Chain A
Amino acid sequence: MISEVLYMNGYGLYVWSSFAFTLSCFCILYLVIKLQLIKEQKKFKVRFESLEADKIEIAKTQETYKEILTTSSASKI
C-alpha cells in the first residue's frame, strides 16, 4: 500500500515533487510574511516605549495603537 502510494505507477517522482514544491512555497511565504510582521511589531513597540509619557497617554486613547500593542508579544496597555 505505502509503496504503491509512493511509486504511483511510475509517476511518483513527478507527483511528489509537485506537492513538495507547493508546500515548500507555502512554508517559505508564510515564514517570510510572519517574520516581516514580527519585525514591524517589535519596531513599533520600541518606538512606542521611547515616546514621552504624555504622548504615550494620547496614543493609549487611540484604538489602532491599542490593537497593535495588544497583538504584539508584550503590551504596555
Chain B
Amino acid sequence: MFNYLKPNNLLKIINKTQKFVFIIFLVIISIGLVEALILSPEDYKQSDSVRIMYVHVPAAWISLGIFSLIAFLSFGILVFKNKNLSLITKSLAPSGFVFNVIALVTGSIWGKPTWGTWWAWDARITSMLLLAFFYLIFLLSWRVTDKEEKAVKISSYIAIIGLINVPIIKFSVEWWSTLHQPSSVNIFTETSIHTSMLLPLGIMTAAFALFSLLIFLMKYNTELIKIKNKGLDRL
C-alpha cells in the first residue's frame, strides 16, 4: 500500500497534476462566485447576508476535514513509523489553518448583521477557535524543534489530542443551547437547504477542496525538494 506513497512516485504524480488542478480550480471558483454572488436567491429571513454562507461553510467543513485527516495519519505515523506520512501531514496543515481562519473571520462578519455582534463565546465558535490553536501549535511544533524525529512525534501527539475537539465542534450545536444555528446540510437526515442554495454551496466546497489540494501538492513538493537537497551530500 505504501508503495504508492513513496516520494519518487508521488513527485511524478504531483508535477503532472499540479497545473491541471490549478486550471480546474480557476474554472470551478469562477462558476461558484457567479452562482454565490449573483444567481443564487436571497434568504427570506437573512436576505443577502446569507451569501456569506458560501465561503463560511465550505471553509469550516474543509478545515475540519483536513484536521481529522491529519489526526488519522498521525496515528499511522506513530504506529508504522512512516516518514512520508509526516510529510503529508506537514503539507496539509497550512491550507487547513487558513481555512479555519477564513471560517472564523467570515463567521464573525456574518454574526454582526445576524446576531448583532462580531463575537460570542458560543460553544461552536469557541471550539472552532480552539481548533485554530491546535493548527497553530501543530505548525509551530515543526519550527521550535531542531530534531526532525522529535518534531514528528510532538506534532503527531498534538493532532491526536486535537481530534477530541472535532466531535465537540460537530455536535456542539446539539449538546448545548448555542447562538450558532444547527447544521442545515446533513448526510444521513433530510437537508433543510433548497437546491438553489445547495448548488452554489456544493460548487464552492468543490473549489475550496481543489484549492487545498493544490496547496498540499505545492507544499509537499517543497518539502520533498528540501529532503533531496540534504541527500545531495550523501551522493
Chain A residues with CB under 8 Å of chain B are 5, 8-12, 14-15, 17-19, 21-22, 25-26, 29-30, 33-34, 36-37, 40-41, 43-44, 47-48, 51, 55, 58-59, 63-65, 67-68, 71
Contact = CB atoms under 8 A, between A and B. Distances in A.
Contacts of A11: 47-49, 51, 113
Nearest to B33: A19
Main secondary structure of the interface of B (DSSP, over half): helix
Contacts, number: 110
A49 to B, nearest CB: 11
A53 to B, nearest CB: 12
Most buried by B among A5, A25, A65: A25
A58 B235 contact: yes
B42 A9 contact: yes
A14 B94 contact: no
A20 to B, nearest CB: 10
Contacts of B224: 64, 68
A74 to B, nearest CB: 15
Most chain-A Cβ atoms within 10 A of its Cβ — which of B59, B112, B221? B221
A47 B232 contact: yes
A60 B133 CA distance: 44
Contacts of B214: 30
A20 B201 CA distance: 17
Contact of B8 (A29, A55, A63): A63
Contacts of B56: 18
B112 A14 contact: yes
Contact of B52 (A18, A58, A65, A67): A18
Contacts of A41: 225
B158 to A, nearest CB: 21
